[in-house]
Amino acid sequence: MREPKRPDPNRADDEDEDEARREALSTSEQGSPNTLVVGLDCRSMNLYRFLRVRFPKLPHGELRRWIADGRVSVNGTPIDDSRPLRFGDVVDIEADVTRLPRRRPPAALTVLYRDSSVVAVDKASGIATAAERSLRKPHLLGLLKEAQPDASVKLAHRIDKQASGVVLFALGREAKQALQEQFSQRQVAKDYLALVTGHVEDEPLTIDEPLTPRLGRVQKMVITPGRGKPATTIVRGLVRFRGYTLVHARPITGRTHQIRAHLRHLGHPIVGDAVYGGEEQLWLSGLKLDYRRARGESERPLLARLALHAYRIRFRSPATGELVTCVSRLPKDLRSALKQLQKTAATRIVPDFDRLLDDPIPGDPA
């Protein structure tokens, strides 16, 4: 290993530090790929952080496994990642550090509509619409940009990560401005389906309650009469079960968590919405009185996510000016949960229930 150059006493202190840093950086990259020397840039780091800096393209979990399996040693001794590294420590790795992980193919994108100005995508539950802070997980906007690298894809609106359904993306700045104008003028009709607790009547009910964000670890909107941003939602019941209702919700305004907060205000939180007082999961044992679990088997929930689905959106295409309607059919998990409710908790048996699920909103609220 080459010794770091001695500082020149005739040079300024900052120049000495710069030279030492450059020397440390070059020193830490000497030797074989499996032998690294800790430079000034990495001193005081723990071992895991050091490996992340040196191998940014390798999965973080694999780096932790190297340490846990004792395949990483410092100065000839395997250590955990708690001790801070020192300048000049020699790190040896008994693993293939040159192997790059196979790149996962982008998740399938289901495009519901596309023209030269807009793309409507069917979002699955669990994937964010856009990038989340401090997380590098896939998101719908990134996947769409990856699938269409030559297009200027821009987010027109978003839905909650745990929700599913239609999401609009604009193609270009002018198209985004045109869509945002329609949203601000309340010219876009958005229809949602939600499974809530309790019985909701068939007659449309207008909820006109302002919302204000509540500061805290978990983002939440609260009803604030007399202040906050105006928020209006129209709600009506579609199908009632014992203890639950499938409802149709149309937000007239577009506030964050608006439907979730308004349904909580009505006393009918959405299933899977623990933030707003809903049941965290839907269980068959809670619906079927004679439920018996097989020996040695654990019960799986019928539904383990936010039971909110962006079913339909209607807007005018910025390119053609024509009225466009995009529909996202109920996904498999929600269909299965609703069918089980029909079997075990129906207040009335609907003979063509499958057909009802294909077109749950034949009309609009008043």
Q: What is the CATH number of the domain that holds 263?
A: 3.30.2350.10
Contact between residue 29 and residue 36 where contact means Cβ atoms under 8 Å apart: yes
Domains identified in the chain, total number:
2
- Is 162 found in the same domain as 29? no
- Is 228 found in the same domain as 187? yes
* In-domain check, residue 5: no
Cβ contacts of 358 within 8 Å, gap of 6 or more:
329
Q: d(Cα 296, Cα 290) in Å, to the nearest integer?
A: 18
Least confident of 28-42, 48-62, 143-157, 272-286: 28-42
Q: d(Cα 363, Cα 366) in Å, to the nearest integer?
A: 9
Residue 106 CB coordination number (10 Å): 13
* In-domain check, residue 99: no
Order across the sheet with 72-74: list the strands.
35-37, 90-93, 72-74, 77-78
* In-domain check, residue 100: no
DSSP-derived pairing of the beta strands 164-171 and 308-316: parallel
- Is 83 found in the same domain as 123? no
Q: d(Cα 182, Cα 37) in Å, to the nearest integer?
A: 59
- Is 216 found in the same domain as 70? no
Look at residue 103 and tell me whether its pLDDT is greater than 50.
no
- Is 127 found in the same domain as 197? yes
- Is 117 found in the same domain as 83? no
Least confident of 29-38, 200-209, 307-316, 354-363: 29-38
Q: What percent of the chain has pLDDT over 90?
A: 51
* Backbone phi, psi, residue 296, to 5°: 85, 0
Q: d(Cα 164, Cα 126) in Å, to the nearest integer?
A: 8
Cβ contacts of 289 within 8 Å, gap of 6 or more:
none
- Is 126 found in the same domain as 61? no
Q: What is the mean pLDDT of residues 137-158?
A: 88
Look at residue 181 and tell me whether its pLDDT is greater than 80.
yes
Report which of 156, 134, 133 is spatially closest to residue 144, judged by C-alpha positions: 156
- Is 275 found in the same domain as 192? yes
Higher pLDDT, 62 or 319: 319
Cα 54 to its chain centre, rounded Å, is: 29
- Sorting pLDDT into bands at 50, 70 and 90, what band is 100? low
- Is 119 found in the same domain as 72? no
Q: Is the pTM of this model over 0.85?
A: no
- Is 81 found in the same domain as 119? no
Choose the final residue of a domain: 59, 93, 127. Answer: 93
Distances (CA, A) of 197 to 10, 340, 347: 78, 15, 14
- Is 209 found in the same domain as 68? no
* In-domain check, residue 132: yes
- Is 130 found in the same domain as 79? no
* In-domain check, residue 105: no
Higher pLDDT, 17 or 154: 154
Q: What is the CATH number of the domain that holds 57?
A: 3.10.290.10
Higher pLDDT, 26 or 139: 139
Q: Would you state the pLDDT for residue 229?
A: 94
Cβ contacts of 191 within 8 Å, gap of 6 or more:
248, 249, 250, 310, 311, 312, 313, 361, 364
Q: d(Cα 260, Cα 283) in Å, to the nearest integer?
A: 21
- For the annotated catalytic residues, the residue numbers are 160
Largest CA distance in the chain: 93
Contact between residue 309 and residue 303 where contact means Cβ atoms under 8 Å apart: no
Length of the chain: 366
**Angle value at C-alpha 26, between 21 and 29, nearest 5 degrees:** 130
Choose the final residue of a domain: 93, 119, 153. Answer: 93
Determine the structural domain holding residue 59 and report its residue range: 13-93
